[in-house]
């Protein structure tokens, strides 16, 4: 293969599904099921020969998307699901059963934290939430029935970069599975599977899709685990629709271009805000990869800034509880992603009224900086001096 680099592979990722008309783009297989010409043909599906039968189980568009992301991650197989959340659930259920114990990082995405601590525990799973910044704490939490260590490669909202090598060696010592949410880093920056992580998951709603027009998720790993994950997706009805798989596939083709620009913009903004006296703290990873350090910047504004006024002064930058789109947007963790947490849990992580998460887009860097500076400086409380 002469097409080995990321950007080359990503645009040549059409998987030939036997399209008789040789279409350039993969058609949308907007069909609930596939037909069989006779009973032998039907039997051949169960023997693994005929490819498709019922879209909840398998559809050409969802297959193509799963394989594309697996290819970008360097993994054997990938499964598309109806959301990042359902991909996370399918990944977890492919290695854990009721009665088993999961050790998960304390600084997870809010929805994942809820899924693991509230939903899974109600089905009889046991869970410990600990700081993964200190691998001793992770080791101390391991019990005889522990099966899985779960974390994020770059955490939300403070962008802690996980020590994946350390995690893999700890898991090997104790014969555990590892699972990493790689949503913030994307396979453009990091490929945790290549570092020995068993299961890698994405909310494709974010950078993989990249255009804020689809809710979808992908889980990747080896053939054996992904066969289980695929069975869970189908059995739980968590399948992605053909059209949303197609949209996500269309989006992922520009992942490299987008991440290049968005990461560079984010780094420039982070450096600029570090110099601003009205920004108390800037959280931006020192190092994620040679390709860049990601497109999220989290800031803690000075107490001199009126937060309500700041959100009203953002001009073309919109407030939205998501990230990873083409446009620069902001989110307010305390009222969105971390809303369900108790005050105590939030304090532990460091989410407070002044913490704002910035998702940096592909716009001109100088425009982004100017708009943030304007919003911050227009929002100084009247009774405080600059």
Ligand X SMILES: *Cc1c(COP(=O)(O)O)cnc(C)c1O
Which two tokens mark 26?
């993969």
Q: What's the closest the beta carbon of residue 252 comes to ligand X, in angstroms? A: 14
Single out the segment in contact with ligand X by CB under 6 A; choices: 3-11, 177-185, 192-200, 341-349: 177-185
Of 111, 142, 110, nearest to 128 by C-alpha is: 142
Q: Which of 60, 66, 78, 84 binds ligand X (CB under 6 A)?
A: 84
**Torsions phi, psi for 180 (to 5 deg):** -130, 130
Q: What's the closest the beta carbon of residue 204 comes to ligand X, in angstroms? A: 7
Which two tokens mark 161?
């970069």
- Tell me the sheet residues that pair with 54: 33
Q: Is 205 in the site for ligand X (CB under 6 A)?
A: yes
- The dihedral region occupied by 159, where left means phi > 0, alpha psi between -120 and 50, and beta the remainder, is left
Cα distances (Å, whole numbers) of residue 360 to 162, 210, 278, 356: 21, 12, 20, 12
Helices then strands, counting H and E runs in the chain, come out as 15, 12
**Torsions phi, psi for 185 (to 5 deg):** -80, -40
83 versus 254: smaller Cβ distance to ligand X: 83
List the interface residues with ligand X, window 88-117 (CB under 6 A).
109, 111-112
Q: What's the closest the beta carbon of residue 324 comes to ligand X, in angstroms? A: 7
Single out the segment in contact with ligand X by CB under 6 A; choices: 18-26, 178-186, 295-303, 309-317: 178-186
List the interface residues with ligand X, window 126-165 (CB under 6 A).
152, 156
Cα distances (Å, whole numbers) of residue 352 to 125, 293, 357, 363: 30, 24, 12, 28
142 versus 148: smaller Cβ distance to ligand X: 148
Q: What's the closest the beta carbon of residue 83 comes to ligand X, in angstroms? A: 3
**Torsions phi, psi for 132 (to 5 deg):** -90, -5
Q: What's the closest the beta carbon of residue 323 comes to ligand X, in angstroms? A: 6
Q: Is 241 in the site for ligand X (CB under 6 A)?
A: no
Q: Which of 62, 85, 265, 329 binds ligand X (CB under 6 A)?
A: 85
Question: Which residue has its beta carbon closest to ligand X?
Answer: 84
Binding residues vs ligand X (CB under 6 A):
83-85, 109, 111-112, 152, 156, 181, 183-184, 203, 205-206, 215, 217
């Amino acid at each position: 293969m002469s097409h080995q680099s990321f950007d080359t592979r990503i645009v040549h990722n059409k998987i030939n599904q036997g399209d008789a008309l040789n279409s350039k783009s993969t058609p949308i297989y907007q069909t609930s099921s596939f037909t069989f010409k006779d009973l032998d043909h039907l039997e051949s599906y169960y023997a693994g020969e005929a490819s498709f039968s019922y879209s909840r189980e398998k559809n050409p568009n969802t297959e193509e998307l799963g394989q594309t992301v697996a290819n970008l991650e360097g993994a054997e197989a990938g499964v598309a699901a109806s959301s990042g959340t359902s991909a996370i659930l399918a990944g977890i259920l492919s290695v854990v059963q009721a009665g088993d114990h999961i050790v998960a990082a304390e600084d997870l995405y809010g929805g994942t934290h809820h899924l693991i601590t509230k939903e899974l525990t109600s089905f009889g799973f046991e869970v410990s939430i600990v700081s993964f910044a200190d691998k001793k704490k992770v080791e101390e939490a391991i019990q005889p029935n522990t099966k899985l260590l779960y974390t994020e490669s770059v955490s939300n909202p403070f962008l802690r970069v996980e020590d994946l090598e350390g995690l893999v060696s700890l898991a090997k010592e104790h014969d555990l599975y590892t699972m990493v949410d790689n949503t913030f880093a994307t396979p453009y920056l990091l490929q945790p599977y290549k570092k020995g992580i068993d299961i890698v998951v994405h909310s494709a709603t974010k950078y993989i899709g990249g255009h804020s027009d689809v809710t979808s998720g992908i889980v990747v790993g080896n053939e054996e685990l992904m066969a289980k994950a695929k069975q869970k997706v189908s059995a739980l009805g968590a399948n992605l629709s053909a059209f949303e798989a197609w949209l996500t596939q269309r989006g992922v083709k520009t992942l490299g271009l987008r991440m290049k620009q968005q990461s560079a913009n984010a780094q420039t903004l982070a450096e600029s805000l570090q110099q601003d006296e009205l920004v108390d703290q800037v959280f931006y990873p020192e190092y994620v990869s040679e390709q860049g350090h990601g497109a999220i910047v989290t800031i803690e504004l000075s107490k001199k800034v009126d937060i309500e006024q700041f959100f009203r002064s953002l001009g073309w930058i919109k407030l939205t509880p998501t990230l990873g789109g083409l446009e620069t947007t902001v989110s307010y963790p305390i009222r969105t992603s971390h809303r369900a947490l108790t005050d105590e849990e939030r304090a532990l992580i460091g989410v407070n009224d002044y913490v704002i998460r910035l998702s940096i887009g592909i716009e001109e860097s100088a425009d982004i900086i100017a708009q943030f500076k304007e919003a911050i400086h227009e929002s100084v409380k009247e009774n405080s001096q600059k």
